[in-house]
Amino acid sequence: MKLSDFVVPEAILADLQVESKTGAIRAMVEALKNSGAIKPEDESSIVDAVLKREELGSTGIGNGVAVPHTKHPSVDRLIATVALAKSGIDFASLDGEDVFILFLLVSPPDRPGDHLRGLENISRHLRNQNFCSFLRQARSGEEVVELLTEADGDQLN
């Protein structure tokens, strides 16, 4: 499973400027709606579902990364978007640090393995220092897409 298989290029936010975790999640789901990947009528229930998942435990997984996610019946395949927050956002991560890189995933309820595989994929790439630092320096959605493609092709090692 490649990052470019499920990240929606038009929904990428290369310069997310929000004050809160909730603001970040709303902005990313809105971006998915604006890109057409999710329907407008599903936007608020997806935001609610992602926030509900956060209540079970923060998806700030450390190292400046957060992976908010949910299952939702409105999607028939895994979709995701990426947001880069240059000023950092408090995501109540276990390591106490702000997050600068966010991947938001929405997956179909009947395919539980999909979002786990998506998360594993994302983690694997994020362990690559080059990927992380280039991502944090990206200034546009296009640059992020290029980076994801290079990561998929193992070209960043």
Residues that bind another protein (CB under 8 A): 53, 56-59, 61-63, 65, 67, 71, 94-95, 112, 116, 119-120, 123-124, 126-127
Q: What distance in Å separates the CA atoms of residue 76 and residue 73, rounded to the nearest whole number?
A: 7
Task: In whole angstroms, give the CA distance from residue 63 to residue 73.
Answer: 31
For another protein, the closer of residues 114 and 141 by Cβ is: 114
First to last CA, the chain: 18
> How far is the C-alpha of 99 from the C-alpha of 59, rounded, in Å?
10
Please say which residue, 67 or 138, places its beta carbon nearer to another protein.
67
Residue 115 annotated in active site: no
CA distance 130 to 134: 6
Contact between residue 106 and residue 43 where contact means Cβ atoms under 8 Å apart:
no
For another protein, the closer CB: 64 or 141: 64
Which residues does the annotation mark as catalytic?
Answer: 69
